[in-house]
Amino acid sequence: MDLSSILSGYDQKHLTVGMLGGHSALDVAHGAKKYGFGTVCVARKGREKTYEKYYKCRESGVGSGEVGCIDETIIVDKFEDVLQKKIVDKLQNMNTIFVHSRYFCVYFPDYTKVEEEFAIPIFGSRHLLKLEERDQPYNQNHLLRDAGIRTPKMYTTAKEIDLGRMVIVKAREAQRKYERGFFLATAADFDDRVNAHIKSGMISPDAMDDATIEEFVVGAPVNFNFFYSPLTGELELLGTDTRRQTNLDGFLRMTAEDQTWAKQFTSVKMVETGHIACTVKESLLEKAFELGEKFVTQCKKLPKKLDPTGKGIIGPFALQGAVVTEDGKEDIVIFDVSFRMPGSPGTFATPYTRYLYGEAMSVGERIGMELKAAVGEGRLEEVVT
């Protein structure tokens, strides 16, 4: 795919920002509209009303002016249909820059087709997204270790687990195979815990074939949502948040007595259902930035076979983990990485962009700002892959 020739055929004064219908699509669209771009959402049939109806751009029924943030919706039977020539041609005719999201991995059976055949410029790191998947020969765990970022201790088998240590097992869900179910175990009860979760239908019978077993770190969960700008060479912390999970959140609202009683009828699950904005102590910010800087540096060192563009990380990414206290000192342990738009539009409710720009800003708004600056400076090719 010749990115330069595609961009040379674009009218950069009339760009459209595109997104798949889900995973912060509305945040992206809102930010794009704020900075003067058109928007197009590729939505899956049966899930299109959010974009085609409720948040469609239209004249307001009360007062004056326009409401909504989605100019156009393209409805497909399945998300991978965005690779079809007729849709790619339409997106190119709209001068579309697509914004990356996890949906490109979750809903595309062969991600290499996105890397090699999706002839639409992507804001973000097209080739790094697959490193989120732990079945890759080189994945996020390897990158974090190479970057010198602290991660939980990993185990290949239950026999390796230290005596008395709790681990968290992340295994494919039985129904939503693209998501992982989480449960705790020790070396002593590992097999019993696995069998119980298979029997309950939480994880699939073969889920342990590629499950992750890692040290369970007891701390305050925090997602650090960063933005790296190729235009300025600077790293920004856009916001911090934590997850809401079902049915764990429901259990946590019960007394200990009721929790014990309720577990007779249902097991605890950790299925992400949303995020809550949170803050961290100011004394932790320098440590958080240090981790972000290490991550950006390591991404720039990746070999061509992993990142043919050589650009490293572009725009938003998230380091997800927990703040722990050990011997009276706090540290940050990272469990997970998002190499793209994170799933938390509420990070604008934290103060970190306000400290930098004087106003609170969502991730989608920061993307819109970067695209506008790139166009204005004639550097659009630097922020897309």
Spacing of C-alpha 364 from chain mean position: 13
Question: In whole angstroms, what is the distance from residue 58 CA to residue 43 CA?
Answer: 18
Q: What angle do CA 273, 279, 282 make, to 5 degrees?
A: 155
Neighbours of 247 (CB within 10 A): 15
41 touches 19 (CB < 8 A):
yes
Is the peptide bond prior to 247 cis by the omega test (within 30 degrees of 0)?
Answer: yes
Decide which of 3.30.470.20, 3.60.15.10, 3.30.428.10, 3.40.50.11540 is the CATH code for 140-150+219-357. Answer: 3.30.470.20
- Over the range 17-48, which residues count as b (16 or more CB within 10 Å of their CB) and which as e? bbbbbbbbbbbbbbbbbbbebbbbbbbbeeeb
Three-class secondary structure of residue 161 per DSSP: coil
Q: Which of 51, 174, 115 has its CA nearest to residue 309?
A: 115
The pLDDT value recorded for residue 318 is: 98
Q: Which of 10, 16, 8, 18 has its CA nearest to residue 82?
A: 18
Ramachandran sector of residue 147 (left: φ over 0; alpha: ψ -120 to 50; beta: rest):
alpha
Q: What secondary structure letter does DSSP report for 383? A: G
Residue with tokens 């009721």: 258
Cβ neighbours of residue 302 closer than 8 Å, sequence gap 6 or more: 128, 143, 312
The pLDDT value recorded for residue 178 is: 67
245 touches 236 (CB < 8 A):
no
Q: What secondary structure letter does DSSP report for 314? A: -
Residue with tokens 């604008």: 348
Cβ neighbours of residue 114 closer than 8 Å, sequence gap 6 or more: 83, 104, 108, 126
347 touches 239 (CB < 8 A):
yes
3-class SS letters over 15-75: CEEEEECCCCHHHHHHHHHHCCCEEEEEEECCCCHHHHHHCECEECCCCCCEECCECEEEE
- pLDDT tens digits, the chain, 385 residues: what are they? 899 999 999 999 999 999 999 989 999 999 999 999 999 999 999 999 999 999 999 998 777 789 999 999 999 999 999 999 999 999 999 999 999 999 998 899 999 999 999 999 999 999 999 999 888 999 999 999 999 999 999 999 989 999 889 999 988 888 876 677 888 999 999 999 999 888 888 888 888 888 889 999 999 999 999 999 999 999 999 999 998 888 888 888 999 999 989 988 887 777 778 899 999 999 999 999 999 999 999 999 999 999 999 999 999 999 999 999 998 899 999 999 999 998 888 899 999 999 999 999 999 999 999 999 999 999 999 999 9
Give this prediction's pTM.
0.91
Q: Which CATH class for the 3-123 domain?
A: alpha beta
Percent helix, strand, coil in the chain, to 5, is: 35, 25, 35
- Secondary element (H or E) of residue 301: none
The pLDDT value recorded for residue 164 is: 84
The pLDDT value recorded for residue 31 is: 98
Distance in angstroms between the alpha carbons of the first and the last residue of the chain = 10
114 touches 81 (CB < 8 A):
no
374 touches 383 (CB < 8 A):
yes
Domain boundaries, the chain: 3-123, 140-150+219-357, 154-215
Sign of the torsion angle spanned by Cα atoms 343, 346, 350, 354: positive
